[in-house]
Amino acid sequence: MTPGLDRPEAVQFGRIQMLGATGTVLMAISALGVGAQPVHQNPVSGVRVTGLFARMPTSMLAMCMIGTVAVVLAWLLLGRFVVGGTGKAPAHRISRSQLDRTLLLWVTSLIIAPPMFSNDVYSYLAQSEIAQRGMDPYVVGPATGLGLDNVLTNNVPNIWRETPAPYGPLFLWIGRGIAAITGDNILLGVWSHRLLELGGMALIVWALPRLARRCGVAPVSALWLGAANPLVLFHLVAGVHNDTLMLGLMLVGLEYCLRALPAGIGMETGSPPLLDRRAWALLGFGAVLITLAAMVKAPAIIALGFVGMGLARQWGRRIGPVIRVAIALGVIAALTTLLVCWGSGLGFGWIYTLGTANAVRSWLSLPTALGIITGFGGVLLGLGDHTTALLSLTRPLAMAAAAFLSLRMLVATWTGRLHPIGALGLSVGAIVLLSSVVQPWYLLWAIAPLAAWATKPAFRGPAVAFSVVVAVLEMPRGAEFAIFQIVEAACAVVFVSVLFIAFTRNALPWRYPPGDSSSVPKALRADAA
């Protein structure tokens, strides 16, 4: 095993921790001015000191961006002691407890800060209140169900006030319970949802190291990429997104399903192993958890396909085992779905609202970006604006390509070319990037399983690059900014960043020897099988 840090490296590690903590503190303070604060019941509005931040949008934007860059730089520097780089492995690596303490230190400020980068939590509160009042949140939106003069409706962005809920019945079932407790108290409601997402975060932290050992990846490497990732800190913790709960349930379910598989026994002999009662119980429990994750957000159900292919491979590479596994897992998923839909009283209306997010045009979506750029080119050439027509062509073609790539990943899992975890990450990555709408936190659907599987730079590198670029470019959602404000803030960020790197060129491992310590010896994988 790679030994721990020596004394000079431990000093550098402590400085990296403080750099990331300083960045999150700056972000938390700036959120008082440019965060996604509520329109009503804002606890800092009008207060002598804290109310001042809202009247300095440019300064607060610059502070937020500086904090964002500080966290990203700290995360990349932390990677020096986790995965190294290319070439020989680094001599020392941080321990699991050191990474856990770092993650806790970095999230503390964001936990107590106002929501940032998204107003979705206010939609959660309004949709949950609709369900609490006995109405169908899959039919009526906040404006219709609660009224335009309702305090919860007024905090929902205008684009979503008339739209029904796009989330699964499990999430709204939980949200209905929160609404019963918090009522119209927005601050208490936001805190309740943040606690719920922190529970999902705990599930992610529990599952990732265990999944990583199955793939020969060091647990700290998986946690660095999948839990300490800036996108996780900014959008799951600070942004209060229910994707945290979805990912947590999916990853834990995946771990329990893989515990049921006999890890390749009988593959070469042609004698498929039989699962005992314990294995069936683990498989069933894991499948239920994955289905519950899909009852929060539907894309999680894809994980069941890769679990099924992994199990079918154990029973022989014939179509018969695939059909039997599909029936078994399908029955478990169907029964779990029926139980949630019936128990919640919300029914199956969620099936018809899954495309609600298509109302926006996302710059991260490849088919959407291609359609918009091509349409803009047509305008410049005097051919007219045909963006809508182009989107109706690029989006279906992209989804067909995503379906084809997912099918290939399923086949690769069945034939043993790819581990189910890695194939799942690659498949979800293709689906996310080729879908009609891509929000920054959607990327984590693919990054989380890839973090537990990717040891080669060819797979880990793009995940890191996407995380850095999207984290830096995303603006706070609490206010709209003019171009001159963004330019001024960006100039301040560049100036501070260059100055900081120049002053710390010897204090921080900017020139740390490259290497790769993300993998673990094969002997250590046995205890995870």
pLDDT in tens, 165-214: 889 999 999 999 999 999 888 899 999 999 999 999 999 999 999 999 88
Q: What angle do CA 112, 17, 454 make, to 5 degrees?
A: 100
Residues 169 and 36 in one domain: no
Q: Which residues contact 264 (CB under 8 A, 6 or more apart)?
A: 314
Give the span between the Cα atoms of 437 and 377, in whole angstroms: 21
Instruction: Look at residue 48 in the predicted model and tell me its pLDDT.
Output: 67
Query: What does the pLDDT read at residue 361?
Result: 63
More confident residue, 5 or 352: 352
Rounded mean pLDDT of 453-469?
82
Sign of the C-alpha dihedral computed for residues 6, 10, 16 and 21 taken in this order: positive
Q: Give the pLDDT mean for 327-342.
A: 92
**Residue 118 near residue 241, CB atoms below 8 Å:** yes
Tens of pLDDT, residues 16-32: 999 999 999 999 998 88
Q: 108 with 123, same domain? A: no
| pLDDT at residue 289 greater than cutoff 90 | yes
Question: Are residues 38 and 108 both part of a single domain?
Answer: yes
Same domain membership, residue 524 and residue 394: no
Grade residue 517 by pLDDT with cuts at 50, 70 and 90. Answer: very low
Mean pLDDT, the chain, whole residue set: 83
Is-contact 40 186, C-beta < 8 A?
yes
Q: What pLDDT score was predicted for residue 259? A: 87
Q: Higher-confidence residue: 42 or 120?
A: 120
Q: Which residue, chain included where needed, has tokens 């990349």?
A: 76
Identify whether 52 is part of a domain: yes
Torsion from C-alpha of 186, 191, 197, 199, nearest 10 degrees: -140
Q: Does residue 250 share a domain with residue 128? A: yes
CA 523, CA 529: separation in Å to the nearest integer? 11
The per-residue pLDDT for 527 is 41
- For residues 20, 21, 24 and 28, what is the CA-based torsion angle, rounded to 10 degrees? -170
Measuring CA to CA, how many Å separate 266 from each of 70, 233, 344? 51, 43, 43
Alpha helices, DSSP H, located in 35-81: 57-80
Whole-prediction pTM value?
Answer: 0.87
Give me the mean pLDDT over the 395-402 stretch: 85
- Nearest by Cα to 352 from 166, 173, 169, 128: 166
Separation between Cα atoms, residue 373 and residue 98, nearest integer Å: 45
Over residues 486-507, the mean pLDDT reads 88
Same domain, 212 and 240: yes
Residue type at 156?
A: V
Please state, in angstroms and as integers, the Cα–Cα distance from residue 142 to each residue in 135, 177, 467, following that order.
11, 18, 33
**Residue 179 confidence (pLDDT):** 92
In this predicted structure, which of 11-25, 150-164, 307-321 has the lowest mean pLDDT?
307-321
**Using an 8 Å Cβ cutoff, are 263 and 215 in contact?**
no
**pLDDT mean over 333-349:** 91
Instruction: Using the Cα atoms of residue 228, residue 230, residue 231 and residue 236 in order, give the sign of their dihedral.
Output: positive
CB count within 10 Å of CB 482 equals 10
pLDDT score of 267: 36
Better pLDDT: 45 or 501: 501
Which of the two residues, 75 and 396, has the higher pLDDT score?
75
Q: Do 400 and 447 belong to one domain? A: yes
Average pLDDT of the residues in 92-104? 86
Would you call 223 exposed, middle or buried from its count of C-beta atoms within 10 A (0-12, 13-18, 19+)? buried
Interval 47-58 mean pLDDT? 72
Record the tokens describing residue 206, joined without a space: 């529990």
What is residue 528's predicted lDDT score, i.e. its pLDDT?
43
d(CA 241, CA 71): 20
Among 221, 294, 306, 220, CA closest to 258: 306
**pLDDT at position 184:** 86
Q: Do residues 237 and 347 share a domain?
A: yes
Domain enclosing residue 11, as ranges: 1-114+482-528
Whether 471 maps to a domain, the answer reads: no
323 and 237 both lie in a single domain: yes
Asked if 109 and 130 sit in the same domain, the reply is: no
Mean pLDDT of 9-13: 84
SS3 374: helix
pLDDT at 457 over 90: no
**Is 194 inside any structural domain?**
yes
109 and 150 in a common domain: no
Share of the chain above pLDDT 70, in %: 85
Q: What is the pLDDT of residues 314-327, one digit of tens each?
A: 777 778 878 888 89
Q: Number of structural domains, the chain? A: 2
